[in-house]
Structure 1
Amino acid sequence: MKKATIPKEKRSLSQSNSNTSRNAQNTRLAKRMEHGSIDTFTIMRELNICRPGARICDLRNSGYKIITNRITMTDEWGRIHRGVAVYTLTAEPDAKVAA
């Protein structure tokens, strides 16, 4: 059986994702969400977060405004998944929301 390897361009990211504490995961996720929407599979794979929904809940409880959309995705093995969450950051804590 062939062992999965991390692409070279993502290795530095994976090394910085070794801290699995709740605070470290929340920090990684909040920082990544500043750059655009992100789906559950990407959060798990790229940020080393096993329970994305729990971390989103933490961020919301900290004052982040995050919307959730559900989509259908095909994973890297060709399997179809319906209802995959895609999270979009709309405002950070204490940030004014545009009217």
Structure 2
Amino acid sequence: MKTKKMADHKAHHENTQVKNTSGTAQRARLLERLQKGSIDTFTAIRELNIVRPGARINELRSLGHNILTHRMTLTDDQGRPHSSIALYYLSTNPPAEVSQ
């Protein structure tokens, strides 16, 4: 009899591929990216395959990560401006346009 493999609930950023859409994998990818610098909603969706970045951010905050949000206007791939797009960053790593 074959045994089923259980999903790894402790996914780590080094072994989570962009095609893995589990919440654990998405949080690992997003946290790894935040440790390198700020990321906006559009980039998180496009590059990290995270459809609801705000939800993952809230989950990371509930796990104790100090993530801040800056709102800004960005233009999408079709040239349309969008106001109040979130730019997320770790409090120890503010983006250049937010730091004083």
Matched residue, 1:6: none
1:39 equivalent to 2:40? Answer yes
Matched residue, 1:52: 53
Decide which structure has the larger Cα Rg and report it: 2
Kindly provide the amino acid, as one letter, of the partner of residue 45 in structure 1: R
TM-score, normalized by length of structure 1? 0.75
* SS, match of residue 69 in structure 1: strand
Q: Where do 1:20-99 residues align within 5 Å?
A: 20-90=21-91
Q: Distance in 2 between matches of 1:47 and 1:59?
A: 15
CA apart distance, 1:41: 0.3
CA apart distance, 1:82: 0.2
User: After TM superposition, which residue ranges in structure 1, 4 or more long, deviate above 3 angstroms?
Assistant: none
Q: Distance in 2 between matches of 1:16 and 1:25?
A: 9
CA apart distance, 1:76: 1.2
Kindly provide the amino acid, as one letter, of the partner of residue 18 in structure 1: K
Kindly provide the amino acid, as one letter, of the partner of residue 30 in structure 2: L
Kindly provide the amino acid, as one letter, of the partner of residue 80 in structure 1: P
Long gaps (5+) in structure 1: 1-14, 92-99
CA apart distance, 1:81: 0.2
Q: Distance in 2 between matches of 1:73 and 1:83?
A: 8
Q: Distance in 1 between matches of 2:91 and 2:52?
A: 21
* SS, match of residue 59 in structure 2: helix
Long gaps (5+) in structure 2: 1-15, 93-100
Q: Distance in 2 between matches of 1:54 and 1:25?
A: 10
Q: Distance in 2 between matches of 1:73 and 1:22?
A: 26
Matched residue, 2:13: none
1:16 equivalent to 2:17? Answer yes
State, as a whole percentage, how many aligned pairs show the same letter: 53
